[in-house]
Amino acid sequence: MKISKKVCCDNLPLIIFSIFISLLFSSCSYAPNVRVAASESLRAKGLDDIRDIAVVVDASSVDERNIEDGLYVVLLNYGYNVTARSDIKTLMKEIKFQSSGLTDADASKIGKMLNVKVVMLARGETVQKRGDKRQKISLKTIDVETGEVLTLAMSDSPYYSWFSLARGAAIKAVPPLNKTLPDEDEFFKISVGCVENKNTITSLDKIAILVKDDKSRKSADVEDIFTGFLMSQKYRIASRSDVKKALDEINFQNSGLTEQGASKIGKMLNVKAVMVVETTAFEHSSDRGVGYLTVELSARLIDIEKNKVLWVANNFGTRGGGWDKDTDAFERAISSMMKAFPKK
C-alpha cells in the first residue's frame, strides 16, 4: 500500500508539532538532569517501615499543581500513602510561614501535625541566566522526628514541564516500597499513579466530579467526558444539579476550587470520594496557517474521609485543524488518563 506524499506533507506540521509537545509535556521518554544525595542514616535504615508521606510544595510563583502531580504519581506507584493537599494548606496557614518560603523546620512541624514520619518538601523556580531560561526543582525528604534531610534531589531543564521535572526528581529521591516496577526509562513515561489496593477505588459506590477550568471555560465539556468514561466503567456519578446546589449552598466560586472545598462538597453529597479536575494549560498556536490546540489536565481522586490521594493523572491532548476542536483535544487527554483508571 502506497502512502500519498501529499498526505504526508499536509500532515507534516501536525506531526512535528505533536513531537514537540510530547517532549514539552508529560510523555517525555528521557529523564531530565537529576542530581541526588542521600544521608548515611537513610542508607542504614531505608524507608521500608514508612508508608505515609506528606508532600509540601513551596512554589507560589510557578506551577504548583503540576509539581504536586509529578510527585504524587511516583509516590503512589512506589507504594506510599499520600496525604491530600487540603490538610497541608490549612496547616501552612496555621503556622503562618513567611513569604520568603517554607523552611525545613516548617515542613517538620507540618509533618508532626499530620502524624507522618516523612515530609517531601519541593521548591520550584524559574531562573534566567544569560538568555537561558531554566526551570529548577529541589526536592528534600525530611525525617519529621529529627529534622534530618534524608535525601536531596535537584532537577533542572529548559525544556521539560514542571510535572516531568518533579517526576524525574522523585523517581530518584525515595526508594520504592514495592518491587515490581518498570525500568527507569519506562517509568518516566508514566503519568498516572494509583493506590496499591485498587479495591479502595472499585468499592466506591458513587463519585462526585468537580472541575476547575478558568483557562478554557470548558468545564461542562470536561465534566461530561469524565462522567462518560467513569459511567462506562460502572461507577455512579453525582448529578451536576446536585453538585451545583452544593456549590451554591456554600457560596463557592469555580475560581476558588480547592481540595478542602471539594471535601466539604463531597460530604454534603454523601460520597466517599471526589474527582478534582483542573485545566492547567490551554494554548492555541498556529504554524503555516494551520491552527493547533494543546490542553493539559490534572485529575485527582480524593478519599474525603481519610484525606488521601487515591489516584492521580496528568496528561495533555493536542489537536490540529482549527479553533473548533477544543473538545477533541480534551477528549484525547482524558481518554489516555482513564485507560488507567481501575475498572469495577
In a domain, 119, yes or no: yes
In a domain, 1, yes or no: no
Residue 330 and residue 255 share a domain: yes
More confident position, 199 or 185: 199
pLDDT computed for residue 48 by the predictor: 60
Residue 250 and residue 105 share a domain: no
Residue 233 and residue 155 share a domain: no
Range of the domain at 82: 28-190
Residue 45 and residue 183 share a domain: yes
More confident position, 41 or 245: 245
pLDDT computed for residue 196 by the predictor: 87
Classify each residue of 280-315 as buried b or exposed e, where b means 16 or more C-beta atoms within 10 Å of its C-beta: bbbeeeeeeebebbbbbbbbbbbbbeebbbbbbbbb
Residue 246 and residue 275 share a domain: yes
Contact 337, 300 (CB under 8 A): no
Residue that terminates a domain, selected from 152, 169, 190: 190
Place of cell 512506589: 78
What is the average per-residue pLDDT within 230-258?
77
Give the residue ranges of DSSP H helices in 30-80.
Answer: 40-45, 64-78
In a domain, 19, yes or no: no
Average pLDDT, the chain: 77
Cell triple for 91? 496547616
Residue 184 and residue 50 share a domain: yes
Q: Is 64 exposed, middle or buried (0-12, 13-18, 19+ CB in 10 A)?
A: middle
In a domain, 23, yes or no: no
Neighbours of 196 (CB within 10 A): 15
> Of the ranges 32-36, 45-49, 74-78, 143-147, which one carries the lowest mean pLDDT score?
45-49
* DSSP class of 52: E
Task: State the Cα–Cα distance between residues 58 and 100, nearest whole angstrom.
Answer: 10
In a domain, 9, yes or no: no
Number of domains in the chain: 2
pLDDT computed for residue 165 by the predictor: 87
What is the average per-residue pLDDT within 53-69?
82
Residue 136 and residue 224 share a domain: no
Residue 282 and residue 220 share a domain: yes
Q: What is the band of 76 on the pLDDT scale with cuts at 50, 70, 90?
A: very high
Element (H, E) at 290: strand 290-303
User: Would you call 2 helix, strand, or coil by DSSP?
Assistant: coil
Q: What is the band of 9 on the pLDDT scale with cuts at 50, 70, 90?
A: very low
Cell triple for 9? 506533507
Query: Which residues is 22 bridged to in the sheet?
Result: none
Q: What is the band of 268 on the pLDDT scale with cuts at 50, 70, 90?
A: confident
Residue 102 and residue 207 share a domain: no
The percent of residues above 90 in pLDDT, for the chain, comes to: 19
Residue that terminates a domain, selected from 163, 190, 217: 190
**Cα torsion 6, 8, 11, 16: sign:** negative
Q: How many residues does the chain have?
A: 344
More confident position, 31 or 269: 269
pLDDT at 150 over 50: yes
Residue 85 and residue 216 share a domain: no
Residue 32 and residue 170 share a domain: yes
Residue 266 and residue 186 share a domain: no
